[in-house]
Amino acid sequence: MRRGRGYKWVDRELARMDPDTDWERMISLYVGHRVPEFALAMMVYPGTMRMMRPGHGSATLAHTGKLETRPRRRFEDGNAFLMAWMVDGLSSPAGRGAAERLNRMHLAIARTTPHLPGNFDDVDDFVYPLVLLATSADRLQTSLGLPGTSANMKVAWHRWAQTLFRLLERESGPLAGEAFPEDWDAMTEFALKFDSRPYEATESGHRVATAMMEHFAERWFPFPLREFGRDLTRYLAGEQVCRLHRIGSLTRRREHAVRLFLKSAFLAQRLLPDYRRPLPERLRQNRRRSKSSPGERSSRRTG
């Protein structure tokens, strides 16, 4: 792919591509050169809270303990999978290797937790995270009254999620022959139905969700703004998730403040230049800076 140049170059490159054949390159370009690390965190932490609404999901996360005891390491490890799948691409050795590694991890955990049967065997528990990764940005932006994902990117995101789904395995075998939502609209419908199911509160869900919320606030906001960071997590997770995991709720005024912040951030994103350095490189630099200077938040956009 020809390297884009100029102030806003990603859209020009995407416009030249066919989502039916170039979807992998489109996802790589968009995520690699449009997405800041903060946006990744806003997706991963609240998204994980949504994914673990089924009690067996939160029980597994609580059993591994990583989100509670080493949340930053958990975030970095998760980022490594996402970068392999989104930026390197699902057809690349890195992308396929990451899928194989995740399959081995899931199977190893399943084998060592006989007291948590079936935690890696429900097909919907594999469909929902991929649907959420593909559609969450669109759902958030449209809920704020902003333009959502373009038609071509919707096709690309669906192809990406469907392809990754077929690379994964559940405890009882590969998912390649299982059904996945047939298009973008089917993915959004699946997410709405999954979100509307009745779920039971668990102590493990409360512990893990609280740990994730606290880490997000501490990682991204200075001390005087930590409560705003928690409110941002609550807003992104949604009222139902907050109630289920017992992590607090938002007043109307605090919700308005969060919405104003998010709308301002998205509007700024439309005005700021596209990143020249890909997201994996920026993540590595930010990780090094955080180790040497905890106050450093992010690299310069045009660096």
CB 170, CB 126: distance < 8 Å: yes
pTM of this structure: 0.89
Nearest-10 Cα torsion for 202, 208, 213, 218:
150
| Of 289 and 32, the one with more pLDDT | 32
Q: Which has the minimum average pLDDT: 45-54, 88-97, 271-280, 290-299?
A: 290-299
- Residue bearing tokens 């060592």: 112
Structure tokens at 162: 């469907």
What pLDDT, on a 0 to 100 scale, did the predictor assign at position 3?
A: 45
pLDDT higher than 50, residue 1: no
Higher pLDDT, residue 17 or 74: 17
pLDDT the model gives residue 156 = 98
pLDDT(292) > 50:
yes
Label residue 250 exposed, middle or buried (CB < 10 Å: 0-12, 13-18, 19+). Answer: middle
Does 5 have pLDDT greater than 60?
Answer: no
Cβ neighbours around 56 below 10 Å, total:
19
Position with higher pLDDT, 120 vs 174:
174
pLDDT greater at residue 301 or residue 265: 265
Tell me the per-residue pLDDT of 70-121, one tens digit each, with 9 for 90 and over: 777 878 888 999 999 999 999 999 999 999 999 999 888 888 877 776 678 8
Q: Which residue has the higher pLDDT, 65 or 278?
A: 278
Comparing 66 with 133, the larger pLDDT belongs to 133
At 66, the pLDDT band (50, 70, 90 cuts) reads low
Q: 37-51, 59-73, 84-98: lowest mean pLDDT where? A: 59-73
Instruction: Estimate to the nearest angstrom the gap between the alpha carbon of 4 and the chain centroid.
Output: 26
Least confident piece of the model among 71-75, 105-109, 198-202, 211-215 = 71-75
Average pLDDT over residues 47-72: 78
Q: What is the 3-state secondary structure (H, E, C) of the chain?
A: CCCCCCCCCHHHHHHCCCHHHHHHHHHHHHHHHHCCHHHHHHHHHHHHHHHCCCHHHHHHHHHHCHHHHCHHHHHHHHHHHHHHHHHHCCCCHHHHHHHHHHHHHHHHHHHHCCCCCCCCCCHHHHHHHHHHHHHHHHHHHHHCCCCCCCHHHHHHHHHHHHHHHHHCEECCEECCCCCCCCCHHHHHHHHHHHHCCCCCCCHHHHHHHHHHHHHHHHHHCCHHHHHHHHHHHHHHHCHHHHHHHCCCCCCHHHHHHHHHHHHHHHHHHHHCCCCCCCHHHHHHHHHHHHHHCCCCCCCCCCC
CA distances from 91 to 79, 87, 98 (A): 18, 11, 11
Distance, in Å, from the CA atom of 158 to the CA atom of 23, rounded to the nearest integer, reads 9
Instruction: Give the residue-averaged pLDDT of 248-257.
Output: 96
